Each structure stands twice: as C-alpha cells, then as structure tokens.
Structure 1
Amino acid sequence: MNLKLLNAIRCNKNIFNKYFAVRYSSTVYPEDKITHTGQKWDKDDYRMARFVNNPKHVNPNIAIKLIAEVPPKKTTSRVVACDGGGGPTGHPQVFINLDKPGDHSCGYCGLRFELDQHH
C-alpha cells in the first residue's frame, strides 16, 4: 500500500472499505471478541483489517475476577503492610488499617486482609 492510501484509510473508512472489499472479496470477515473492558468493534470497522489473516487473541482471565478468588489473609496485627510481593513485580508499600470489621483490600493489587479476632 502506498502512503496516500494509508492516509485515506486513517481519514475516511469508506475509502478503506471499498479497497478492502475489492482486495479481500473472497476473505471471510473476522468476528471480534469482546475484551475485558467491554470493547468490541463493528464488523466493518477498518481496525478489523489486522485480524483478517491472524486471529484476535483476547485473554479470558480478568484480573479483578482472579484476585477475588484469593481468600483474605488473616492477621493478628491491626495494621498490615502490602507491597504486592516486592521486587520488580510489586508496588509501593502501603499500610492498611484493619480496625473496622470485615476485609480490607489493597488499593494497588486488590489483595484482601482481615483481622483475626480469635487470638
């Protein structure tokens, strides 16, 4: 494709749709999968051209659902420190007050902590 056509694609998707229909008339249009953010493009959207020969890979594991499966960590201390595991995979250290009943989650990673009242 030349530079004029690329600029036309960016500015006017109708020109691209005509070009796409002529060039790839025998190609089956891909079906867009919904991402974890709810994003889904229309079938005639020009951004779908990148998925004609290759499938669109969407991760079905949503982080908030995965972290909800982890049970709260019970502790006897009224204040806990969370650094997300430390090192390059962690986050800045935050302190979480557990005085109020129930579990309390870290604002960075979502890990939950709960005060163990039995000790």
Structure 2
Amino acid sequence: MIRCGTRQLWWQLRARYHTTTTVHRVAAEEEKESVGIKPKRLHQPLGVYPQGTNLEEVREKWQSDAMELISKVPPIVVDGYVIACNGGGGPLGHPIEYIRLEAPYPSTCKYCGLRYINKDTFEKWKKENNE
C-alpha cells in the first residue's frame, strides 16, 4: 500500500466533494430566489410588535396577555450603563443577559421583557412620554 498515493487520492476526493456541495448550495439559493421564496424574517426586539399585529387576536389564540402585562411594568432605573438581568435568579430565572443602557429610551431584556433605563436619561424620557 502506497501512502503517498492514498493521501493524494484522499485530497482529490475531498476537493471534489467540497466543490460540488458548494455548487449545489449556491444553485439551491438561486432557485429559492427565482421561485419567490422569501428569506426568513428577522426577530423583532421585545416590546416592538410587527406591523399589523392585533393583540386581541393573540390573546384569543393563546389565552395570554403577557405582552400587554409586561409593557405595563415601569422601567427599572439603574445607576450604571450596563445591567445584568437574570430574570429573578434561581431555577425560575433565565440565562444572564448583559444589557447596555446607552439608548435614550428603556432597553428591554430579550428573555423576560423587563425594561431598564439609566438614571441620567430617565427624566428626559419621562418628560417626552408623560409617564
């Protein structure tokens, strides 16, 4: 058994496999575009509903008004510009999410929906939103 020949054959087969799969992937993407299949839509941030979302319909279907209830919770005022949200901690919490608070409006935790805002920008935001 010649090792050099086997190794060379292996590399040739590997190169052929990778080029054909790449060609097939590109062809599949082009076919999707030509047929008119839309790309997956991006997720909306919490607290922002897609245009045309009827909350009454959501509540009827899932028997839950969690989005409406969490939006009624006032934003939590924080001293720093980075907050670590763990959803209450313990077994009922969620993974730690570090949130930057540099925006002029409350930043939302993507897991639990709690909103946080820096104390420097809170007063300005409060005046703008009459809360």
Q: TM-score, normalising length from structure 2?
A: 0.45
Q: TM-score, normalised by structure 1?
A: 0.49
The structure with more helix, counted as a fraction of residues: 2
